[in-house]
Structure 1
Amino acid sequence: MKAMSPGLIIGIVAVLLVILLVVWFVSAFNRLVRLRNQVRASWAQTDVQLKRRHDLIPNLVETVRGYADHERATFEAVAQARTAAMSAQGVAGASAAENALTSALGRIFALAEAYPQLQANQNFLALQSELATTEDKIAYARQFYNTAVQSLNNAVESLPTNLVAGATGFRTAEFFEAAGAERGPVQVRF
């Protein structure tokens, strides 16, 4: 039996190391792709819930307007905040616009407290319930999105995956921040 030369052994070890490095690189890259796609998918679900909220608002405003038509400034503030939220770009823009919309909606609900007959209106109660349900879904979608962002950001910023991320253009994603009032459970009281 013929012994392998030291040069051949070094060559085999070098080839095996290159193969292992390529396998690791591909594995790390594929993990980053999965994480990025999870962030995109979770943002799409968040966006669906935000659009649902945007669609409920005109009905809510019209119902309240029937009882308090003289409160035009409040209705206009809600309409402007809704328009800004619908046209917001990016996570940071959506976050700021949605926080402004939440504040404007708070004024509508505060206004509704002054009208007992509105509080007894079945249409208003149904819209209030639907909006509360939607707010819960938004909170869950935001949490799911932020968890996906955290996973991606951890991978992009941690060794050794950050080497692959830097070489292939992966970047951290933005969190979808909630307004101070939204950080707890959403409760609409009448």
Structure 2
Amino acid sequence: MIIPIIIVVVVVFLLVGLYNSLISRRNQVDLTFGNMDVMLKRRYDMIPNLVEVVKQYMTFEGDTLKRITELRSRLTDQSDMNSPARMKVENELTGLLSGLHVAVENYPELKSNERFAQLQSTWTDVEDQIASSRRSYNAAVVSYNNAVEMFPTNVMASWMRYLPMEVLAIAEPERENVSAKELFKN
């Protein structure tokens, strides 16, 4: 009589452990995404200052600056913070901003501007933090996906209807060398 009770108790503890493990990993994914979101918000907040300083010196890049401002507005108004559409816009914004920083090389007076130099330094720090946040997020997603796909937690995950998540991949334009000439042609 005592052996069946022990077996039931062990099974219950095992199920609770599996359940808690899945919840913990999913929460870790949410936490790391939230941390990345904070860094992205800092970047969005810096864009108007960057555009304002750069606009004074760069006369030919008006279309690019306008597009950067449009993308920033779309991202700050975005209600679904975890959508693939948002990541597509993020990747486009990142590509434009990278090209903008390359184009700055053609404007020595802008590079010597103290406000721009400070802004560029802060920008570099924020971009490094975003990259670190992306790595943390991807590590959390891989851990979660392993739990969702590996036995025995995959059984519990299927009962809970947990599905694998996608890692954040680098957009194809980010993998290529940036051509400032192509980005800013009139």
TM-score bin, normalised by smaller chain? 0.7 to 0.9
Partner of 1:131: 123
Structural RMSD (CA): 1.9
Q: Partners of 2:41 and 2:152 in 1: how far apart?
A: 39
- Matches of 2:174 and 2:40 in 1, distance apart? 14
Conserved 8 A contact 1:152-1:172: yes
Please state how far the C-alpha of 1:113 moved relative to its aligned partner.
1.9
Partner residue in 2 for 1:178? 170
Quote the residue 1:24 is aligned against. Answer: 14
Does residue 55 in structure 1 map to residue 41 in structure 2? no
SS of equivalent to 1:178: coil
Kindly name which structure, 1 or 2, has the bigger radius of gyration based on alpha carbons. Answer: 1
Residue deviations 1:134-188, cap 9 Å, x none? 00000101111111111111001100111111112322222122235657xxxxx
* Contact residue 91 and residue 174 of structure 1 kept, 8 A: no
TM (norm. structure 1) is 0.84
CA distance in 2, matches of 1:100, 1:181: 8
Report if aligned partners of 1:92, 1:174 keep a CA contact under 8 Å in 2: no
Alignment gaps of 5+ in structure 1: 1-10, 184-190
- Residue 28 of structure 1 aligns with an amino acid whose one-letter code is L
**Residue 114 (str. 1) matches residue 106 (str. 2):** yes
> 1:164 and 2:156 equivalent?
yes
Counterparts of residues 149-160 of structure 1 (less than 5 Å): 149-160=141-152
SS at structure 2 position matched to 1:113: helix
SS in 2 for 1:163: helix
Higher relative contact order, chain-length normalized (CA < 8 Å, sep 6+): 2
2:56 paired residue number:
66
Among 92, 112, 116, which residue is 1:100 paired with? 92
Match of 1:7 in 2: none
Structure 2 CA distance for partners of 1:108 and 1:49, relative to 1, 3 Å: same
Note if contact 1:155-1:161 (Cα within 8 Å) is conserved in structure 2.
yes
Q: Which residue of 2 aligns with 1:4?
A: none
How many positions carry a matched residue from both structures? 174
Identical residues among aligned pairs (%): 38
Please give the TM-score of this superposition, normalised by the length of structure 2: 0.85
| Matched AA of 2:47 | I
CA distance in 1, matches of 2:105, 2:53: 13
Pick from 51, 54, 77 the counterpart of residue 67 of structure 2.
77
Q: Distance in 2 between matches of 1:176 and 1:92?
A: 9
Q: What is the rounded CA distance, in whole Å, between the counterparts of 2:72 and 2:28 in structure 1? A: 27
Q: Distance in 2 between matches of 1:171 and 1:53?
A: 31
